[in-house]
């Protein structure tokens, strides 16, 4: 089994429900086991497109899938749950699943790039990931916690304390 880390986000519709559904669909696949999830965070959108705030979180997985197969599963879940609301890059979405890390692999193969190419620039990725894996070492040798402390991202990231912790297994 390989260890992989995902970022999950949503800003359209029932976001907590979409995040929970995505986690359940990942867990329902025989090749994936969700081993840890972060809290849900309210985050400001990036990219200049006017849109609502996001709910973001991170998940740690154990998987039998190769990276490309895990990406295919994530894309299938996105399609099933509605994915992007429109076709605008950086635009609103009902669910977004990104592979951040897969073991210590470095891959640049078309649409699959691991580690995720912009994860170190985005607090909305690093904050939830640091909650579940602060000591995880990146391929270049720094840890997630060190990357978060070194980040210059000034976008707002706040824990969503308006609702109980996402209990996705009970939904």
Q: What is the pLDDT of residue 8?
A: 97
pLDDT in tens, the chain (171 residues): 999 999 999 999 999 999 999 999 999 999 999 999 999 999 988 766 678 899 999 999 999 999 999 999 999 999 999 865 555 566 688 999 999 999 999 999 888 999 998 899 899 999 999 999 999 999 989 999 999 999 887 668 898 887 777 877 764
Q: Is residue 166 part of a domain?
A: no
Q: Is residue 18 part of a domain?
A: yes
Q: What is the pLDDT of residue 161?
A: 83
Q: How many domains does the chain have?
A: 1
Identify whether the C-beta of residue 6 lies closer than 8 Å to the C-beta of residue 98: yes
The three-state secondary structure class of 56 is strand
Stated pTM of the model: 0.92
Q: What is the pLDDT of residue 92?
A: 82
Q: What is the pLDDT of residue 152?
A: 82
Tokens of 108: 């640049």
Q: Is residue 164 part of a domain?
A: no
Q: What is the pLDDT of residue 66?
A: 97
Q: What is the pLDDT of residue 98?
A: 95
CATH of the domain at 116: 3.30.70.560
Q: Is residue 167 part of a domain?
A: no
Q: Is residue 131 part of a domain?
A: yes
Q: What is the pLDDT of residue 72?
A: 95
- The whole domain housing 30 covers 2-159
Q: What is the pLDDT of residue 46?
A: 76
């Amino acid at each position: 089994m390989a260890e992989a880390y995902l970022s999950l986000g949503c800003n359209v519709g029932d976001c907590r429900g979409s995040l929970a559904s995505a986690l359940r669909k990942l867990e329902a696949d025989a090749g994936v086991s969700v081993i840890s999830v972060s809290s849900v965070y309210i985050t400001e959108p990036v990219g200049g497109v006017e849109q609502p705030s996001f709910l973001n979180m991170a998940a740690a997985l154990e998987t039998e899938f190769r990276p490309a197969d895990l990406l295919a599963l994530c894309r299938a879940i996105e399609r099933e749950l509605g994915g992007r609301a429109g076709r605008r890059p950086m635009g609103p979405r009902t669910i977004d699943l990104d592979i951040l890390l897969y073991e210590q692999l470095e891959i640049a193969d078309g649409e699959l790039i691991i580690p995720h190419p912009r994860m170190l620039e985005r607090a909305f990725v690093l904050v939830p990931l640091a909650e579940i894996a602060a000591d995880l070492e990146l391929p270049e040798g720094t840890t997630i916690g060190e990357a978060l402390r070194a980040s210059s991202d000034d976008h707002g990231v706040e824990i969503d304390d308006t609702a109980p912790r996402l209990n996705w297994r009970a939904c």
